[in-house]
Structure 1
Amino acid sequence: MTILRPDPAALQSGDLVWPRADDQFVYYLDGVPQEEAWRQQRDAFVAGVAADPVASDGDKALAGQVRDWSYADFVSFPGPGARMQALVNRPWVGHVGIVDVRDGVPWVIDATPSRRRGGVNGPKGVAEQTYEEWLGDDSHLQSHVWQGRLRGIDEAGGSAMVAAAAAQIGKPYRFFRFDLDDASGFYCSKLVWLAAWDALHISLDGGGAARRFWVSPLQLMRSDRVEMLYVPPGREYGAFGH
Protein backbone atom coordinates (compact mmCIF):
# COMPACT_ATOMS: atom_id res chain seq x y z
CA MET A 1 0.00 0.00 0.00
CA THR A 2 1.24 3.48 -0.87
CA ILE A 3 1.29 5.89 2.06
CA LEU A 4 0.32 9.39 0.91
CA ARG A 5 1.86 12.37 2.70
CA PRO A 6 2.82 15.99 1.91
CA ASP A 7 6.37 16.85 0.91
CA PRO A 8 8.17 17.83 4.14
CA ALA A 9 9.75 20.73 2.22
CA ALA A 10 6.26 22.19 1.72
CA LEU A 11 5.54 22.44 5.44
CA GLN A 12 5.65 25.82 7.18
CA SER A 13 5.53 26.82 10.83
CA GLY A 14 1.91 27.00 11.95
CA ASP A 15 0.71 24.37 9.48
CA LEU A 16 -1.62 21.68 10.75
CA VAL A 17 -1.18 17.98 10.03
CA TRP A 18 -3.78 15.24 10.46
CA PRO A 19 -2.85 11.52 10.26
CA ARG A 20 -5.29 8.73 9.38
CA ALA A 21 -4.80 5.14 8.24
CA ASP A 22 -7.19 3.45 5.84
CA ASP A 23 -8.53 1.18 8.58
CA GLN A 24 -9.49 4.07 10.86
CA PHE A 25 -12.85 5.79 10.95
CA VAL A 26 -13.05 9.44 12.00
CA TYR A 27 -16.36 10.72 13.30
CA TYR A 28 -17.40 14.32 12.82
CA LEU A 29 -18.27 15.41 16.34
CA ASP A 30 -19.21 18.99 17.09
CA GLY A 31 -19.42 18.63 20.84
CA VAL A 32 -22.87 17.02 20.80
CA PRO A 33 -22.83 13.73 18.87
CA GLN A 34 -25.82 12.51 16.92
CA GLU A 35 -28.14 10.39 19.04
CA GLU A 36 -27.59 7.11 17.19
CA ALA A 37 -23.81 7.48 17.16
CA TRP A 38 -23.92 8.25 20.87
CA ARG A 39 -26.09 5.20 21.59
CA GLN A 40 -23.72 2.90 19.70
CA GLN A 41 -20.76 4.30 21.60
CA ARG A 42 -22.55 3.97 24.95
CA ASP A 43 -23.37 0.33 24.23
CA ALA A 44 -19.79 -0.37 23.12
CA PHE A 45 -18.43 1.20 26.31
CA VAL A 46 -20.77 -0.75 28.57
CA ALA A 47 -20.01 -4.02 26.76
CA GLY A 48 -16.28 -3.32 26.87
CA VAL A 49 -16.31 -2.75 30.63
CA ALA A 50 -18.38 -5.90 31.19
CA ALA A 51 -15.88 -7.95 29.17
CA ASP A 52 -12.79 -6.46 30.83
CA PRO A 53 -11.64 -8.55 33.82
CA VAL A 54 -9.46 -5.70 35.08
CA ALA A 55 -11.90 -2.83 34.52
CA SER A 56 -11.51 -0.13 37.15
CA ASP A 57 -14.14 0.47 39.80
CA GLY A 58 -14.70 3.91 38.30
CA ASP A 59 -15.41 2.49 34.85
CA LYS A 60 -17.72 -0.16 36.33
CA ALA A 61 -19.65 2.50 38.21
CA LEU A 62 -19.87 4.70 35.13
CA ALA A 63 -21.05 1.80 32.96
CA GLY A 64 -23.74 1.00 35.50
CA GLN A 65 -24.83 4.62 35.55
CA VAL A 66 -25.11 5.15 31.81
CA ARG A 67 -26.36 1.68 30.79
CA ASP A 68 -29.99 2.77 30.79
CA TRP A 69 -29.48 6.41 29.96
CA SER A 70 -31.25 8.03 27.07
CA TYR A 71 -29.51 10.63 24.94
CA ALA A 72 -31.57 13.28 26.76
CA ASP A 73 -30.20 11.98 30.07
CA PHE A 74 -26.67 12.28 28.72
CA VAL A 75 -26.96 15.91 27.63
CA SER A 76 -28.73 16.79 30.88
CA PHE A 77 -25.77 15.61 32.95
CA PRO A 78 -22.68 17.19 31.34
CA GLY A 79 -20.26 16.11 34.06
CA PRO A 80 -20.55 12.31 33.89
CA GLY A 81 -21.74 12.58 30.30
CA ALA A 82 -18.55 14.30 29.26
CA ARG A 83 -16.46 11.66 31.00
CA MET A 84 -18.33 8.82 29.29
CA GLN A 85 -17.98 10.53 25.92
CA ALA A 86 -14.26 10.90 26.52
CA LEU A 87 -13.83 7.24 27.34
CA VAL A 88 -15.67 5.89 24.32
CA ASN A 89 -14.85 8.46 21.65
CA ARG A 90 -11.06 8.57 21.83
CA PRO A 91 -10.43 6.00 19.05
CA TRP A 92 -12.82 7.75 16.69
CA VAL A 93 -12.09 11.43 16.72
CA GLY A 94 -8.81 11.58 14.79
CA HIS A 95 -5.66 13.52 15.57
CA VAL A 96 -4.01 16.82 14.66
CA GLY A 97 -0.69 18.52 15.38
CA ILE A 98 1.04 21.86 14.72
CA VAL A 99 4.17 22.10 12.56
CA ASP A 100 7.25 24.05 13.64
CA VAL A 101 10.02 24.37 11.03
CA ARG A 102 13.47 24.95 12.54
CA ASP A 103 16.47 25.45 10.29
CA GLY A 104 14.61 23.69 7.51
CA VAL A 105 13.63 20.69 9.66
CA PRO A 106 9.90 20.27 10.40
CA TRP A 107 8.84 19.34 13.93
CA VAL A 108 5.37 18.55 15.26
CA ILE A 109 3.89 19.72 18.56
CA ASP A 110 0.83 17.76 19.64
CA ALA A 111 -1.08 16.37 22.60
CA THR A 112 -1.55 12.63 22.81
CA PRO A 113 -2.11 10.04 25.55
CA SER A 114 0.88 7.96 24.40
CA ARG A 115 3.85 7.93 22.06
CA ARG A 116 5.58 4.75 21.02
CA ARG A 117 8.33 4.06 18.49
CA GLY A 118 9.51 0.54 17.87
CA GLY A 119 7.76 -0.58 21.00
CA VAL A 120 9.54 2.01 23.15
CA ASN A 121 7.32 4.44 25.04
CA GLY A 122 7.84 8.18 24.62
CA PRO A 123 6.52 11.20 26.53
CA LYS A 124 2.80 11.55 27.13
CA GLY A 125 0.76 14.73 26.93
CA VAL A 126 1.93 17.83 25.07
CA ALA A 127 5.35 17.24 23.53
CA GLU A 128 7.39 17.88 20.41
CA GLN A 129 9.31 15.66 18.03
CA THR A 130 10.65 15.93 14.51
CA TYR A 131 8.16 15.31 11.72
CA GLU A 132 10.17 12.21 10.81
CA GLU A 133 9.90 10.91 14.36
CA TRP A 134 6.20 11.77 14.43
CA LEU A 135 5.62 9.76 11.25
CA GLY A 136 7.61 6.92 12.79
CA ASP A 137 5.34 6.63 15.81
CA ASP A 138 3.87 3.14 15.95
CA SER A 139 0.37 4.63 15.64
CA HIS A 140 1.27 6.56 12.46
CA LEU A 141 3.26 4.03 10.45
CA GLN A 142 0.34 3.31 8.09
CA SER A 143 -1.16 6.80 8.24
CA HIS A 144 -1.74 9.09 5.31
CA VAL A 145 -1.29 12.75 6.26
CA TRP A 146 -3.41 15.80 5.45
CA GLN A 147 -1.87 19.30 5.53
CA GLY A 148 -3.69 22.57 6.18
CA ARG A 149 -2.86 26.19 6.90
CA LEU A 150 -4.80 29.12 8.32
CA ARG A 151 -6.00 31.36 5.50
CA GLY A 152 -4.00 34.54 5.17
CA ILE A 153 -1.49 33.59 7.86
CA ASP A 154 2.01 35.02 7.44
CA GLU A 155 5.33 33.81 8.82
CA ALA A 156 4.93 35.84 12.00
CA GLY A 157 1.46 34.43 12.58
CA GLY A 158 2.67 30.88 12.09
CA SER A 159 5.52 31.45 14.52
CA ALA A 160 3.13 32.94 17.06
CA MET A 161 0.90 29.86 16.85
CA VAL A 162 3.91 27.62 17.37
CA ALA A 163 5.01 29.66 20.40
CA ALA A 164 1.54 29.42 21.92
CA ALA A 165 1.51 25.65 21.47
CA ALA A 166 5.10 25.24 22.69
CA ALA A 167 4.20 27.09 25.89
CA GLN A 168 2.01 24.10 26.79
CA ILE A 169 4.75 21.46 26.38
CA GLY A 170 4.86 19.24 29.44
CA LYS A 171 1.14 19.63 30.20
CA PRO A 172 -0.77 16.34 30.56
CA TYR A 173 -3.15 14.78 28.06
CA ARG A 174 -6.68 15.29 29.36
CA PHE A 175 -9.35 14.45 26.84
CA PHE A 176 -12.20 15.21 29.21
CA ARG A 177 -11.03 18.80 29.80
CA PHE A 178 -13.72 20.04 27.41
CA ASP A 179 -13.58 23.63 28.65
CA LEU A 180 -11.35 25.46 26.17
CA ASP A 181 -10.51 28.04 28.84
CA ASP A 182 -8.87 25.38 31.00
CA ALA A 183 -5.15 25.16 30.15
CA SER A 184 -4.29 22.56 32.79
CA GLY A 185 -4.44 19.72 30.27
CA PHE A 186 -5.00 19.17 26.56
CA TYR A 187 -6.27 16.86 23.88
CA CYS A 188 -4.91 17.35 20.37
CA SER A 189 -7.50 19.67 18.81
CA LYS A 190 -7.85 21.74 21.98
CA LEU A 191 -4.11 22.49 21.77
CA VAL A 192 -4.48 23.69 18.16
CA TRP A 193 -7.61 25.70 18.95
CA LEU A 194 -5.97 27.42 21.92
CA ALA A 195 -2.78 28.16 19.95
CA ALA A 196 -4.78 29.94 17.24
CA TRP A 197 -6.90 31.76 19.81
CA ASP A 198 -4.04 32.88 22.05
CA ALA A 199 -1.70 33.85 19.21
CA LEU A 200 -4.09 35.28 16.63
CA HIS A 201 -7.45 35.64 18.40
CA ILE A 202 -8.93 33.33 15.79
CA SER A 203 -11.57 30.77 16.76
CA LEU A 204 -11.03 27.90 14.34
CA ASP A 205 -14.42 26.34 15.01
CA GLY A 206 -16.20 29.59 14.22
CA GLY A 207 -17.47 30.01 17.75
CA GLY A 208 -15.87 33.36 18.43
CA ALA A 209 -15.12 34.53 21.93
CA ALA A 210 -18.12 32.65 23.34
CA ARG A 211 -16.91 29.26 22.11
CA ARG A 212 -15.82 27.32 25.16
CA PHE A 213 -16.60 23.63 24.53
CA TRP A 214 -15.10 20.55 22.90
CA VAL A 215 -13.73 20.80 19.36
CA SER A 216 -12.66 17.90 17.14
CA PRO A 217 -9.81 17.49 14.61
CA LEU A 218 -12.33 17.15 11.79
CA GLN A 219 -14.02 20.39 12.82
CA LEU A 220 -10.67 22.14 12.48
CA MET A 221 -10.14 20.63 9.05
CA ARG A 222 -13.57 21.83 7.93
CA SER A 223 -13.15 25.30 9.39
CA ASP A 224 -13.60 28.12 6.90
CA ARG A 225 -10.44 29.63 8.41
CA VAL A 226 -8.33 26.65 7.25
CA GLU A 227 -7.13 26.01 3.70
CA MET A 228 -6.27 22.41 2.90
CA LEU A 229 -2.97 22.28 1.01
CA TYR A 230 -2.49 18.54 0.74
CA VAL A 231 -5.26 15.95 0.68
CA PRO A 232 -4.18 12.36 -0.06
CA PRO A 233 -5.66 11.56 -3.48
CA GLY A 234 -8.79 9.45 -3.25
CA ARG A 235 -9.02 9.82 0.53
CA GLU A 236 -11.48 11.67 2.73
CA TYR A 237 -10.48 12.30 6.33
CA GLY A 238 -13.94 11.81 7.78
CA ALA A 239 -14.53 8.43 6.17
CA PHE A 240 -13.59 4.78 6.60
CA GLY A 241 -10.99 3.48 4.16
CA HIS A 242 -11.09 5.70 1.07
Structure 2
Amino acid sequence: MPRPADQPITPIPVLTDEVRAAAIPPPNYHPVHDNDVQHYVLFNRLEGFDTDDGTGMAWEGQAWVGTDLNKLWLRSEGERVGGHTEGADLEVLYGRAFARWWDVVAGVRHDFKPGASQDFVAIGVQGLAPYKFEVEATAYLGQSGQTAARLEAEYETLLTNRLILQPLVEVSFYGKNDERRGIGSGLSTAEAGLRLRYEFTRQFAPYIGVVHERAFGRTADFRRAADEGVNDTRFVAGIRIWF
Protein backbone atom coordinates (compact mmCIF):
# COMPACT_ATOMS: atom_id res chain seq x y z
CA MET A 1 0.00 0.00 0.00
CA PRO A 2 1.54 3.33 -0.98
CA ARG A 3 2.49 5.86 1.80
CA PRO A 4 0.36 8.97 1.95
CA ALA A 5 2.24 12.09 0.78
CA ASP A 6 1.68 13.92 4.10
CA GLN A 7 3.20 11.17 6.27
CA PRO A 8 6.93 11.04 7.22
CA ILE A 9 9.10 8.14 6.10
CA THR A 10 10.07 7.35 9.72
CA PRO A 11 7.16 7.30 12.18
CA ILE A 12 7.37 9.96 14.92
CA PRO A 13 6.76 8.59 18.42
CA VAL A 14 4.04 10.07 20.60
CA LEU A 15 5.39 13.00 22.70
CA THR A 16 4.77 12.06 26.34
CA ASP A 17 5.63 13.84 29.62
CA GLU A 18 8.47 11.36 30.17
CA VAL A 19 9.98 12.23 26.78
CA ARG A 20 9.70 15.95 27.49
CA ALA A 21 11.42 15.55 30.90
CA ALA A 22 14.27 13.57 29.34
CA ALA A 23 14.80 16.08 26.53
CA ILE A 24 14.42 19.28 28.61
CA PRO A 25 15.57 18.85 32.22
CA PRO A 26 14.15 21.29 34.77
CA PRO A 27 16.28 24.45 35.24
CA ASN A 28 18.68 24.44 38.19
CA TYR A 29 18.07 27.86 39.68
CA HIS A 30 20.62 29.26 42.11
CA PRO A 31 19.13 30.14 45.49
CA VAL A 32 18.54 33.83 46.22
CA HIS A 33 20.25 35.02 49.40
CA ASP A 34 18.51 38.39 49.84
CA ASN A 35 17.29 37.35 53.30
CA ASP A 36 20.71 36.31 54.60
CA VAL A 37 21.97 38.47 57.49
CA GLN A 38 25.29 40.09 56.62
CA HIS A 39 27.47 42.85 58.09
CA TYR A 40 29.90 45.55 56.97
CA VAL A 41 32.22 47.98 58.81
CA LEU A 42 33.95 50.90 57.08
CA PHE A 43 36.26 53.60 58.41
CA ASN A 44 36.19 55.90 55.41
CA ARG A 45 38.43 58.45 57.15
CA LEU A 46 40.78 57.75 60.03
CA GLU A 47 43.36 60.51 59.85
CA GLY A 48 45.79 62.77 61.68
CA PHE A 49 46.90 66.36 61.10
CA ASP A 50 48.80 69.25 62.70
CA THR A 51 47.28 72.58 63.77
CA ASP A 52 48.39 75.65 65.72
CA ASP A 53 46.61 74.16 68.75
CA GLY A 54 48.40 70.81 68.53
CA THR A 55 48.10 67.46 66.84
CA GLY A 56 44.62 66.45 65.79
CA MET A 57 42.76 63.40 64.58
CA ALA A 58 39.45 62.93 62.79
CA TRP A 59 37.27 59.97 61.93
CA GLU A 60 34.23 59.14 59.87
CA GLY A 61 32.85 55.64 59.76
CA GLN A 62 29.77 53.51 59.36
CA ALA A 63 28.64 49.96 59.96
CA TRP A 64 25.55 47.94 59.20
CA VAL A 65 24.06 44.55 59.89
CA GLY A 66 21.00 43.10 58.17
CA THR A 67 19.62 41.90 54.85
CA ASP A 68 19.48 43.48 51.41
CA LEU A 69 16.12 45.03 52.32
CA ASN A 70 16.43 45.90 56.03
CA LYS A 71 19.53 47.08 57.89
CA LEU A 72 20.58 48.52 61.24
CA TRP A 73 23.08 51.33 60.62
CA LEU A 74 25.66 52.99 62.85
CA ARG A 75 27.28 56.22 61.62
CA SER A 76 29.81 58.35 63.47
CA GLU A 77 32.19 61.21 62.82
CA GLY A 78 34.24 63.50 65.00
CA GLU A 79 37.44 65.41 65.61
CA ARG A 80 39.94 65.83 68.43
CA VAL A 81 42.63 68.54 68.65
CA GLY A 82 45.28 68.85 71.33
CA GLY A 83 43.69 66.08 73.39
CA HIS A 84 40.25 67.74 73.43
CA THR A 85 37.17 66.63 71.51
CA GLU A 86 36.03 69.44 69.22
CA GLY A 87 33.01 67.57 67.89
CA ALA A 88 31.66 64.01 67.86
CA ASP A 89 28.35 62.36 67.06
CA LEU A 90 26.85 58.88 66.77
CA GLU A 91 23.77 57.89 64.78
CA VAL A 92 21.73 54.71 65.19
CA LEU A 93 19.41 54.24 62.22
CA TYR A 94 17.03 51.75 60.69
CA GLY A 95 17.42 51.58 56.93
CA ARG A 96 15.11 50.11 54.32
CA ALA A 97 15.86 49.82 50.62
CA PHE A 98 13.32 51.58 48.41
CA ALA A 99 15.24 51.47 45.12
CA ARG A 100 18.10 49.49 43.67
CA TRP A 101 20.87 51.70 45.10
CA TRP A 102 18.98 53.75 47.71
CA ASP A 103 17.93 53.38 51.35
CA VAL A 104 15.67 55.52 53.47
CA VAL A 105 16.96 55.78 57.05
CA ALA A 106 15.40 56.90 60.33
CA GLY A 107 16.59 56.86 63.93
CA VAL A 108 18.43 58.98 66.47
CA ARG A 109 21.63 61.02 66.59
CA HIS A 110 23.57 61.86 69.75
CA ASP A 111 26.01 64.79 69.74
CA PHE A 112 28.74 64.43 72.36
CA LYS A 113 30.38 67.75 71.43
CA PRO A 114 30.50 70.73 70.93
CA GLY A 115 29.07 72.00 74.20
CA ALA A 116 26.70 69.89 76.25
CA SER A 117 25.45 66.68 74.69
CA GLN A 118 22.13 66.72 72.85
CA ASP A 119 19.90 64.31 70.93
CA PHE A 120 18.13 64.49 67.58
CA VAL A 121 15.55 62.46 65.70
CA ALA A 122 16.93 61.72 62.24
CA ILE A 123 15.43 60.86 58.86
CA GLY A 124 17.11 60.82 55.48
CA VAL A 125 18.23 58.97 52.38
CA GLN A 126 21.54 57.56 51.27
CA GLY A 127 22.73 55.82 48.16
CA LEU A 128 24.42 56.01 44.80
CA ALA A 129 23.37 58.96 42.64
CA PRO A 130 23.85 59.16 38.85
CA TYR A 131 27.49 59.31 37.75
CA LYS A 132 28.35 57.20 40.83
CA PHE A 133 28.24 59.95 43.45
CA GLU A 134 27.75 58.49 46.93
CA VAL A 135 25.25 60.72 48.74
CA GLU A 136 23.95 61.05 52.30
CA ALA A 137 21.20 63.60 53.02
CA THR A 138 19.76 63.66 56.54
CA ALA A 139 17.39 66.01 58.40
CA TYR A 140 17.29 66.30 62.20
CA LEU A 141 14.87 67.52 64.85
CA GLY A 142 16.49 68.10 68.23
CA GLN A 143 15.89 69.33 71.73
CA SER A 144 14.39 72.80 72.23
CA GLY A 145 13.08 72.70 68.68
CA GLN A 146 16.49 72.86 67.03
CA THR A 147 16.51 71.60 63.46
CA ALA A 148 19.47 70.65 61.32
CA ALA A 149 20.42 69.08 58.02
CA ARG A 150 23.59 67.50 56.72
CA LEU A 151 24.48 66.74 53.11
CA GLU A 152 27.55 64.72 52.13
CA ALA A 153 28.67 63.69 48.66
CA GLU A 154 31.80 61.89 47.50
CA TYR A 155 33.17 60.44 44.31
CA GLU A 156 35.97 58.02 43.46
CA THR A 157 38.24 58.34 40.42
CA LEU A 158 40.42 55.34 39.60
CA LEU A 159 43.80 56.62 38.42
CA THR A 160 45.08 53.04 38.35
CA ASN A 161 43.73 49.76 39.72
CA ARG A 162 45.18 50.67 43.13
CA LEU A 163 45.54 54.47 43.13
CA ILE A 164 42.23 56.23 43.80
CA LEU A 165 41.40 59.94 44.09
CA GLN A 166 38.44 60.76 46.34
CA PRO A 167 36.91 64.25 46.50
CA LEU A 168 34.35 64.81 49.28
CA VAL A 169 32.05 67.68 50.23
CA GLU A 170 30.02 68.02 53.44
CA VAL A 171 27.61 70.87 54.25
CA SER A 172 25.71 71.51 57.51
CA PHE A 173 22.64 73.69 58.14
CA TYR A 174 20.83 74.65 61.37
CA GLY A 175 17.38 76.08 61.98
CA LYS A 176 18.26 78.54 64.74
CA ASN A 177 21.18 80.03 66.65
CA ASP A 178 22.80 78.11 69.50
CA GLU A 179 25.46 80.40 70.93
CA ARG A 180 26.51 77.93 73.64
CA ARG A 181 27.67 75.54 70.95
CA GLY A 182 28.87 78.19 68.54
CA ILE A 183 26.24 77.28 65.95
CA GLY A 184 24.42 79.83 63.81
CA SER A 185 21.21 79.49 61.83
CA GLY A 186 21.25 78.82 58.11
CA LEU A 187 24.31 77.53 56.33
CA SER A 188 26.70 76.77 59.20
CA THR A 189 29.82 75.03 57.86
CA ALA A 190 31.11 73.50 54.66
CA GLU A 191 34.06 71.18 54.24
CA ALA A 192 35.75 70.05 51.04
CA GLY A 193 38.48 67.43 50.94
CA LEU A 194 40.62 65.71 48.35
CA ARG A 195 42.33 62.44 49.32
CA LEU A 196 44.61 60.17 47.33
CA ARG A 197 44.82 56.59 48.55
CA TYR A 198 46.75 53.50 47.56
CA GLU A 199 44.96 50.19 48.04
CA PHE A 200 47.45 47.55 49.13
CA THR A 201 44.31 45.45 49.36
CA ARG A 202 40.68 46.43 48.86
CA GLN A 203 40.29 46.39 52.65
CA PHE A 204 43.35 48.48 53.57
CA ALA A 205 44.47 51.74 51.96
CA PRO A 206 46.68 54.52 53.39
CA TYR A 207 46.06 58.02 52.00
CA ILE A 208 47.20 61.63 52.01
CA GLY A 209 45.06 64.66 51.32
CA VAL A 210 44.11 68.26 51.87
CA VAL A 211 40.95 69.51 53.62
CA HIS A 212 39.44 73.00 53.68
CA GLU A 213 36.71 73.95 56.17
CA ARG A 214 34.82 77.25 56.35
CA ALA A 215 32.17 78.68 58.66
CA PHE A 216 29.38 80.93 57.40
CA GLY A 217 26.89 83.46 58.76
CA ARG A 218 26.29 83.51 62.50
CA THR A 219 28.54 80.48 63.01
CA ALA A 220 31.42 82.54 61.60
CA ASP A 221 30.43 85.45 63.89
CA PHE A 222 30.50 83.19 66.96
CA ARG A 223 33.96 81.96 66.00
CA ARG A 224 35.29 85.48 65.55
CA ALA A 225 33.87 86.47 68.94
CA ALA A 226 35.70 83.49 70.49
CA ASP A 227 38.92 84.50 68.67
CA GLU A 228 38.75 81.39 66.50
CA GLY A 229 39.43 81.08 62.79
CA VAL A 230 36.66 81.08 60.22
CA ASN A 231 38.73 79.23 57.60
CA ASP A 232 40.98 76.24 58.11
CA THR A 233 43.10 74.39 55.54
CA ARG A 234 45.15 71.39 56.59
CA PHE A 235 47.03 68.47 55.17
CA VAL A 236 45.99 65.04 56.42
CA ALA A 237 47.34 61.51 56.38
CA GLY A 238 45.42 58.42 57.37
CA ILE A 239 44.05 55.02 56.49
CA ARG A 240 40.82 53.72 55.03
CA ILE A 241 39.82 50.22 56.16
CA TRP A 242 36.77 47.99 55.88
CA PHE A 243 35.79 44.47 56.83
Between the two structures, name the one with larger relative contact order (CA 8 Å, sep ≥ 6).
1
The structure that has the greater radius of gyration is 2
More helix by share: 1
**Is TM > 0.5 for Structure 1 vs Structure 2?**
no
More strand by share: 2
Normalising TM by the smaller chain, what interval? under 0.3
TM-score, structure 2 normalization: 0.23
